[in-house]
Amino acid sequence: MFMIMPLLTQIFNYGVIISYSCSRKWQYVHSWDVKNVDNLAEVMKLIEAGLHQDATKVYNYAQLLISKTEEKGDLQTAKKLRSVLKNTKTITIQAKEYGHTLKLPVDSESRLPLAEIKNYDKGSVFLSLDRDSMSTIREFIYLINHIDLFLKAGIKGNRSILLFGKPGTGKTQTARYISSETALPLVTVRLDGVISSYLGNTSKNLRILFDFVQRTPCILFLDEFDAIAKMRDDSNELGELKRVVNTLLQNIDSIESDIPIIAATNHEHLLDPAVWRRFDYKIRMKLPDTATRRSLLTEFLRDVPLENGATDFVAALTEGMDGSEIEMFSTQIRTNLVVDKVDSLRTKDLLSYYTKFKSRLIQEGSDENLSNEEIILRTARTLRNQNKKAFTIRKISSLTGISTGKLSQQLRKRGEYVG
């Protein structure tokens, strides 16, 4: 057993000093008020870990305490803390970034890892969603970053969020964004590792996984959540799989607000009702609206030379696409720019690229085999529905090369009044 109380005492003392360092009061305190201690969440975790003789947890939360101290500009205290970790003989692991020292748990039978862990630098992940969703996510990030404020006030932090909606709407990107804005590693559950063919092993894997995340500062990301959180009254499921849900709920309850949890699913209707109640925030991930599409395109095409108004044109073209498809189309535009060796892209070029992209997308996603002309006509209807004044019959005719007469005739045949 590790004898880590001496280390804990030193780290704890430094943790208390932090709250006084900004006012240059460099002295130890013998009686202290919880409400006046900065980084209270980390200090409490260190005390808990020390009392349980958990060297790994002490180490990991000490590393987070060092990072937060450095962020606040208190480099001297951070240096002292790092020196404590490095020189203490009772911990054998060397001082490195805590996100790179973790030994991921594995399934006992397959030896597959139960999770993947990755760090995202602040500002490295781009996210654009509708205004309401972004507002909720920013509030969620604020709660994570300011947990000390709520602990001091005796308030339980609400730090679990469920993202649900169609594929490609940004659920995984949202998890990465939250990770980057909180400076916490993202621990993504690997379902191929957690779900075992051996009776009892899935519940065991869940317990191992939750025990792992409680020992380090991180965000737990449960992707494809419906695979392990299905309704317990599903007649198609075996009794063992139903017991997995009970284990999942127990583990979620056990960590309370200590570890932020993000869950994502494309099939929210499959989730057990009790699972929904475990999440403080729930966001339906929608197809991007016009403003969001424009924001995504501005990011994805930021280095592409476009003529004036081209971004608005592509935003209109991509109505009905999810964020993933918009990114794919943007990549296709950038690819064609290189292949065609052109200095700038005209609106006409973009429509041509869109027709090719849409043709491939439709043929991959359905049995419908449309001609390029049919795709163009459908696109014309989309543009007209967006803005009839901006996309007149004459304007669309000049872009597509289809005569105004034929264009008008075909649109009328499809039920559109052409005025």
205 and 302: one domain?
Answer: no
Let me know: does 330 contact 297? Beta carbons within 8 Å: yes
The boundaries of the domain holding residue 195 are 102-285
SS3 162: strand
Let me know if residue 419 belongs to a domain: no
Domain CATH code at residue 259: 3.40.50.300
Band (pLDDT 50/70/90 cuts) for residue 368 is: low
> Are residues 7 and 91 in contact, defined by beta-carbon separation less than 8 angstroms?
yes
pLDDT of residue 33: 47
For residue range 120-155, what is the model confidence (pLDDT) as tens digits?
988 899 999 999 999 999 999 998 888 777 777 777
Mean pLDDT over 381-406 rounds to 77
Vertex 73 angle, CA 54 and 156, to 5°: 50
**Does residue 51 lie in a domain region?**
yes
Q: Which of 294-308, 316-330, 396-410 has the lowest mean pLDDT?
A: 396-410
Nearest to 400 by CA among 363, 354, 368: 354
Domain co-membership, 264 together with 337: no
- How much is the average pLDDT of 269-279? 87
- On average, the pLDDT of the chain sits at 77
**pLDDT on residue 73:** 77
Would strands 281-285 and 186-189 be described as parallel, antiparallel, or unpaired? Answer: unpaired
**Confidence at 34, pLDDT banded by 50, 70, 90:** very low
- Quickly tell me which residue has 């690819």 as its tokens: 335
The answer on 336 and 278 residing in a single domain is no
Q: Please check whether residues 204 and 352 belong to one and the same domain.
A: no
Residues 107 and 245 in one domain: yes
| Res 241: pLDDT | 66
Domain tally, the chain = 3
Name the residue among 235, 249, 247 with its Cα closest to residue 199. 247
Q: What single letter denotes the amino acid at residue 246?
A: N
Q: Do residue 268 and residue 125 come from a single domain?
A: yes
Q: How much is the pTM?
A: 0.72
Average pLDDT of 265-271? 90
Last residue of a domain, one of 43, 66, 98: 98
In 3-state terms, the chain is what percent helix, strand and coil (to 5)? 55, 10, 35
> In this model, does residue 364 exceed pLDDT 60?
no
Residue by residue, DSSP assigns 234-289 as -TTS-HHHHHHHHHHHHHHHHHTTTS-EEEEES-GGGB-HHHHTT-SEEEEEPPP-
DSSP letter assigned to residue 125: -
Could you give the CA distance from residue 122 to residue 116 in angstroms, rounded to a whole number? Answer: 19
418 assigned to some structural domain: no
pLDDT of the residue at 296: 96
Q: Using the predicted structure, report yes or no on whether residue 190 has a pLDDT greater than 70.
A: yes
**Whether residue 78 sits in one domain with residue 65:** yes
Q: How far is CA 222 from CA 81, 173, 253, 352, 407, in A?
A: 33, 13, 15, 40, 49
Q: What is the pLDDT of residue 21?
A: 35
Last residue of a domain, one of 98, 133, 163: 98
Q: Number of C-alpha atoms within 13 angstroms, CB side, residue 232?
A: 13
pLDDT at residue 235, rounded to an integer: 52
Q: By percentage, how much of the chain surpasses pLDDT 90?
A: 23
- 302 in the same domain as 223: no
User: Which has the higher per-residue pLDDT, 307 or 163?
Assistant: 163
DSSP string, 66-111: HHHHHHTT-HHHHHHHHHHHHH-TT--S----GGGT----B-TTT-
213 close to 220: Cβ distance less than 8 angstroms: yes
Does the residue 64 lie in any domain? yes
Taking the CB of residue 347, how many other CB atoms lie within 10 A of it? Answer: 19
Residues 205 and 325 grouped into a single domain:
no
Residue 39 has pLDDT above 90, yes or no: no
Q: How far apart are the first and last CA of the chain?
A: 83
Domain end residue (candidates: 41, 67, 98):
98
| Residue 345 lies inside a defined structural domain of this protein | yes
Contact 169, 213 (CB under 8 A): no
Q: Is residue 204 part of a domain?
A: yes
Q: Say what angle helices 347-365 and 310-317 make with each other, to 10 degrees.
A: 20
Has residue 321 been placed in a domain?
yes
The CA-based diameter of the chain, rounded to the nearest angstrom, is 89
Query: Same structural domain for residues 295 and 230?
Result: no
Q: How confident is the model at residue 163 (pLDDT cuts 50, 70, 90)?
A: very high
* 142 shares a domain with 253: yes
Which pLDDT score, from 0 to 100, does residue 96 have?
37
Predicted pLDDT of residue 1? 37
Q: In 3-state terms, what secondary structure has residue 222?
A: strand
Tokens of 361: 């997308």
Both 275 and 139 in one domain: the answer is: yes
